[in-house]
């Protein structure tokens, strides 16, 4: 919620001031923008509070995971050069996780094309 207010204020400033008929009065564009962002803030407030609650709940667990697994994952990422050459990770019943390499495919397999187009047809 605290982060949303500066974002809304920034959007209002970036929208630019509309020309007001009176010096002290807000234009219809300014009033509309304020109402829009106020409504948006009210609609998003419960979702943002839930998101902050989830971050508070899972934050320590994620930090612990990153501290423990970070070096191993960095080492694995350094060894694998082409992620597309591997299948999706698979968890075995005993809890082991394996990443299988895809079977090699012949790189030079190209569809056969006729050497020349038949008469009356244009090659594209």
Q: Looking at the predicted structure, is the pLDDT value of residue 94 above 90?
A: yes
22-61 pLDDT, tens per residue?
Answer: 456 888 999 999 999 999 888 888 888 888 888 888 888 8
106-119 pLDDT, tens per residue?
Answer: 666 666 666 665 66
The confidence score (pLDDT) of residue 21 equals 46
- How many residues does this entry show for the chain? 124
Q: pLDDT over 90 for what percent of the chain?
A: 10
Task: From residue 12, give the alpha-carbon distance in Å to each of 31, 32, 37, 38.
Answer: 10, 10, 8, 11
pTM greater than the 0.75 cutoff: no
């Amino acid at each position: 919620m605290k982060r949303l207010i500066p974002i809304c204020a920034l959007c209002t400033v970036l929208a630019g001031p509309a020309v007001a008929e009176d010096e002290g009065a807000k234009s219809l564009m300014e009033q509309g923008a304020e109402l829009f962002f106020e409504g948006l803030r009210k609609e998003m407030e419960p979702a943002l509070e839930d998101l902050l609650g989830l971050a508070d709940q899972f934050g320590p667990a994620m930090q612990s995971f990153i501290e423990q697994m970070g070096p191993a994952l960095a080492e694995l990422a350094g060894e694998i050069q082409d992620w597309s050459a591997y299948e999706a990770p698979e968890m075995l019943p005993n809890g082991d996780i394996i990443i299988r390499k895809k079977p090699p495919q012949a790189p030079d397999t190209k569809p056969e094309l006729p050497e020349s187009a038949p008469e009356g047809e244009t090659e594209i």
